[in-house]
Amino acid sequence: MTILQTIGFGPSGWGGLLLIAALMTLCVTATALLIGMVFGTLIAWAKLSGSRLARGLGSAYTTIFRGVPELLIIYLVYFGGSSLVTAIGAAMGFEGFLGLPSFAAGALAVGIISGAYQAEVYRGAFLAIPKGELEAAQAIGMPRLLRFRRIVAPQVFRFAIPGIGNVWQLSLKDSALVSVTGLADLMRTSQIAAGSTRQHFLFFIVGGCLYLLLTSLSDRVFNRAEHRANRSMPSGIGQA
């Protein structure tokens, strides 16, 4: 069999499966990014709040989840989540071991890590808002929620886009580790293809190229988003 047949889209080719796997990687990463947005916003809020307890909890979260290997966090969520599900199942009368779905476990684990990085991005973006604007909003009597919606959120989002782009790239590469839970993502599928055809070198090269494609395409998307978000701003330092 020629190389083209092996990686092509024919009946004996792995091309279709690899493309589906690449889509799976994108799905895991996108879900993780959304989960991370929720965690990140909450943690950034905690770190910026006046309460010392909330600040402490926020720093503990970012220190732990940025300082511990991603693989360990995936094991924690996968095995810990599975024993939790089993315990709940036992309480509801199911017998035996119940596993957490590997997609959910993977997206949650990468999301938790991504949340720790996103918290720092949002915190930095919030601190970049000129103090005068917040004071002006307060001075004309804008309520808290309205102030958040009109003044804080749009600017935080604009300042955060480059940072979110970096976090996305990190999560895309972290998502490869989710393959240890058996999810058929790009990493796992390349591994299976490599194992069953005994063409390890070929399939890891192809998998790596697909990852490169994903990272370079998403880089382009984020650059365009940054450009678009800044279209009303005067061009200055640090803008494309």
- Where along the sequence are the contacts to another protein (CB under 8 A)? 63-64, 67-72, 75-76, 79-80, 83, 172-174, 176-177, 179-180, 187, 190-191, 194, 198-201, 204-205, 207-208, 211-212, 215-216
Choose among 21, 7, 25, 12: nearest CA to 199.
7
For 51-89, letters b (16+ CB in 10 Å) and e give eeebeeebeebbeebeeeebeebbbebbeebbeebbeee
The residue (of 142 and 205) whose beta carbon lies closer to another protein is 205
3-state secondary structure of 21: helix
Q: How far is the CB of 134 from another protein (least distance, A)?
A: 29
Closest to another protein by CB, 155 vs 190, is: 190
Instruction: Tell me the closest approach of the beta carbon of residue 215 to another protein, in angstroms.
Output: 4
Name the minimum Å distance from CB 209 to another protein.
Answer: 8
CB of 149 to another protein, least distance (A): 34
Q: Let me know the angle formed at the C-alpha of 122 by 153 and 41, rounded to the nearest 5 degrees.
A: 75
- Collapsing DSSP to helix, strand or coil, 182 comes out as coil
Of the two residues 45 and 75, which places its CB atom closer to another protein in the complex? 75
Q: Which residue lies nearer to another protein by CB, 67 or 96?
A: 67
